A and B are shown apart, each in its own frame.
Chain A
Amino acid sequence: MEYQKAAELKGLCNGKIVTEYLCRNGFSELTVDSKKVAVQHKNETSRKEAEDESRLPALEAAYTTILRGLGENTDRQGLLKTPLRAAKAMQFLTKGYHETIFDVLNDAIFDEDHEELVIVKDIDMFSLCEHHLVPFFGKVHIGYLPSKKVVGLSKLARIVEIYSRRLQVQERLTKQIAMAISEALQPVGVAVVIEAAHMCMVMRGVQKMNSRTVTSAMLGVFREDPKAREEFLALTKGGQ
């Protein structure tokens, strides 16, 4: 299978070559900064789950320093175990670094003779702004036009989880989700739209309560054909 070949290649050569190979096969007009994508692939498992426990003490000490620096009394009852809880919470919120797309997707790709739009919308997403370490959250809508291969529906949500539970920038998150789906399935087109509220804008800084940031990534036929894009956008807007 083409996908497996790509996976083997990934082991031998660097990510850049693999990405370009897939790009030329699947899409006509794909402006992807392949170097950047390759960097992210290298970061795929920058953290092993087994190491989490051993890193906890350092994180705890850091949080204790932060609490003291803010002028709080770290011996008061409410704060006694806060460094540990905050460290564990932060590890949970960045657990996307543990997992790779391959682990999650490999079993659930099926050959199906379906060539109509498949959309999974209103996927709740929670991520951390990499600039302020403050949450941003919202909804992700994913649509793709399969080309003989469909993926298990929950796997789309799992892809969102893997990439969102990291220190992220919304633009990069959108692109990573789109790229992951296109690499796994080689579909005719992929569309991803994310609408999120950034706490760094709401709770601090400009403090605009109701502002939302919307980013989208359109690959393949969604980029070239305006009608396909319209259909996707119409289907994800309605019923909200």
Chain B
Amino acid sequence: MERSKQKQVNENENENEADSAINGHFDGRVKMPGWSAGGAAGTPSTVPSSSVMESWREERTRSLEDNEMSLPSIAAAYTTILRGLGEDPQRQGLLKTPWRAATAMQFFTKGYQEKIIDVLNDAIFDEDHDEMVIVKDIDMFSMCEHHLVPIFGRVHIGYLPNKRVLGLSKLARIVEIYSRRLQVQERLTKQIAVAITEALQPAGVGVVIEATHMCMVMRGVQKMNSKTVTSTMLGVFREDPKTRDEFLTLIRS
């Protein structure tokens, strides 16, 4: 079957290119370049990625054909849901809703269709720049994996290049790939940071996400104005407080 072949191909890629990130597959720990093991006491020189990436290890990218093939079953599931909620799926406003909802849900999880490698490969440039680069206020929309309800907010990314810079829109594309999935905000933050690290081997990366979770606003505790803030600081952003301060000040202004 096509599916098992795809899986094998992914696993082969995994073995051959251990250094690059393929849709987040790693062999265990991610090596951070150039940082001594004897940094500040207790600071790890490697980032434990297995806990983050374990669940994605078996992952293969979804294709457009997969989308088309699964659409009828997803639409049928939505029809069941409409009936289960006490609505009449035959009324005019709801006639095509199962299809629209299924297509919408596939769009909200289109991050599964793309790989970091495809998006980044062309736009890494050698530039003799070693000052902080920040792209902030990147609008982010994701789906809570626990309730299937939207999460939206802003992502701020900063990195200190080490001879290599990345096309700026590629940072936003990395955010798109990882956010258009069923996500947990903590994991999303870490995945973005790790992806940038793997692609560029910079001196440090900082990612801050500030988001509103509809599962807290529309249901449950129903706190309208609550926001969740998560951050991941890697490399020099983690070790040097001054760098971290500069980053946090610049994203606030």
Report A's interface with B, CB cutoff 8 A: 43, 46-47, 51, 55, 58-59, 61-63, 65-73, 76-79, 81-82, 85-87, 89-94, 97, 124, 126, 130-135, 137, 167, 169, 199-200, 202-204, 209
Using Cβ atoms and an 8 Å threshold, which residues of chain B touch A137?
A: 217-218
CB distance from A90 to the nearest CB of B (A): 6
In angstroms, Cα B81 to Cα A87, docked, is 8
* B97 and A130 contact, CB distance less than 8 A: yes
Inter-chain contact total with CB atoms closer than 8 Å: 150
Partner of A167, one of B70, B87, B141, B217: B87
Stretch of B29-37, B143-151, B166-174, B202-210 at the chain-chain interface:
B143-151
Neighbour of A70 across the interface among B76, B96, B112, CB < 8 A: B112
Q: Specify which chain B residues have a CB less than 8 angstroms from the CB of A72 in the assembled complex.
A: 109, 112, 182
Taking a contact as CB atoms under 8 Å apart, the answer to whether A59 and B84 are in contact is: yes
Is the Cβ of B112 less than 8 Å from the Cβ of A71?
yes
Kindly list the 4 A-B residue pairs having the minimum CB-CB distance in the complex, ordered from nearest: A47-B86, A69-B70, A62-B77, A65-B77
In the complex, which of the residues A43, A62, A85, A203 contacts B108, with contact meaning CB atoms closer than 8 Å?
A203
Question: Closest CB of chain A to B234's CB: distance in Å?
Answer: 23
A166 to chain B, nearest CB (A): 8
Question: Among B73, B141, B146, B149, which residue has its beta carbon within 8 angstroms of that of A202?
Answer: B141
Binding site for A on B (CB under 8 A): 55, 58-59, 62, 66, 70-71, 73-74, 76-78, 80-88, 93-94, 96-97, 100-102, 104-109, 112, 139, 141, 145-150, 152, 182, 184, 214-215, 217-219, 224
Task: Tell me, in angstroms, the Cα distance from A14 to B235 when the chains sit together.
Answer: 71
Contacting residue for A89 out of B83, B106, B112, B149, CB 8 A: B149
Tell me the bound Cα distance from A220 to B130 in angstroms: 68
Selected from B73, B85, B93, B218, the residue in CB contact (under 8 A) with A69 is: B73
Cβ–Cβ < 8 Å partners of A131 in chain B: 93, 96-97, 100
Q: Say whether chain B's binding surface is mostly helix, strand, loop, or mixed.
A: helix
Q: How far is the CA of A81 from the CA of B146 in the complex (A)?
A: 7
Contact call B85/A47, Cβ cutoff below 8 A: yes
Contact assessment for A82 and B84 in the assembled complex, using a CB-CB cutoff below 8 Å:
no
Given contacts A58-B80, A93-B218, A132-B97, contact A77 B55 (CB under 8 A): yes
Which B residues touch A85, using CB under 8 A? 146-147
Alpha-carbon distance A91/B224, docked complex (angstroms): 20
A55 — nearest CB in chain B belongs to which residue?
A: B84
Indicate which residue in B62, B80, B184 contacts A78 across the interface (CB closer than 8 Å).
B184
Which of A68, A94, A97, A132 touches B100 (beta carbons < 8 Å)?
A132
Within the assembled complex, what's the spacing in Å between the Cα atoms of A196 and B72? 31
- Asked whether A63 and B93 contact (CB < 8 A) given A69-B74, A70-B109, A76-B55, the answer is no
A67 contacts across to B, CB distance below 8 A:
182
Q: In the complex, A202→B101 CA distance in Å?
A: 15
Q: Which residue of B lies closest to A80 (CB)?
A: B146
Among A68, A69, A130, chain B packs the most CB atoms within 10 A around the CB of: A69
User: Max chain A CB contacts within 10 Å: which of B80, B81, B109, B152?
Assistant: B81
